[in-house]
Structure 1
Amino acid sequence: MLTSLRVFACICSLLVHATSGAQAGAPRGAYISPLLPGHHRLALHGVPAHYEVMGDGPLLLVPAPRDDLAELSRHFTLVVCDLPASAAGADKADHLDALRRYLKREKVDLLGDAQGTASAYASRYPDRVRRLMPYRADASAERIVQFFSTPE
């Protein structure tokens, strides 16, 4: 029984790893851009994770979903993260940094979240954040667009 469980766990792990970042209908071995619009899966520190890319414009990482994403996607390429909970010593800030590396970005713009992931990331990795806007629940999409559109 224990051997069967180990085999099953290995197969599941291989499937998650083999399909990380893969898109349905893509030829095997084809390069798939991690910023192609749609849903993407990958492993962050060995833990399955998911993110969605939508919109067009400068890249903006959003560590948690918001209600006004449709409005923001008219101005930005949004990477909306569904980060795994803390596992094996890696927390959400570490997972966010692994995603940044996966997206091949030196620095990122971050839209803060109520869970504090963006703030924790910015304090731990300040040299990897171009701009951070902590938001309140009532922060309008217009205000967010204005903040990230203003030259540094």
Structure 2
Amino acid sequence: MDHDDFVLPAARAIVIAVSPDELAVFEHMGEAYLKNPGRFPSRRDRPGQVLGSGIDIVIGMVSPVALALATAAYNRLVDSTADAAVDAGGKLWKRLRRPSPPVAEYTDERLADLHRSTREEAIRLELSEEQATAVADALIEHLRRGD
């Protein structure tokens, strides 16, 4: 499983769980994110920021945050898989290729660590504690189902 095959389904699972109304625009956001993740906003400018159109509409989309969190989760899983390969004597393997996170290695300890780090990152990206927990729960459930 490569980056794109992991990130979009994981982020979609988060959006479905936390903000299903955004699903209609998620696919377009996901495509834009994969084309240029470095230029894609993953953080809200200010919570509750009002658009300058004179209409008091509050924007607080979860999709960009979900994409950033799914990417962070992928990187964390890849890094821990690579570290395990190094520990087993595969230093050359790590230098030549970053392995994809294998589903079979999603231990309870690894998932608990991923839940914690995802929740912390979601809070850092200005989701509420309740949303951050829901996002982390959705990601872990997605990984356990193997979608």
TM-score range, shorter chain: under 0.3
> Greater relative contact order: 1 or 2 (C-alpha under 8 angstroms, separation 6 or more)?
2
Q: TM (normalized to structure 1)? A: 0.24
Structure (1 or 2) with the greater strand fraction = 1
Q: TM (normalized to structure 2)? A: 0.25
Structure (1 or 2) with the greater helix fraction = 2
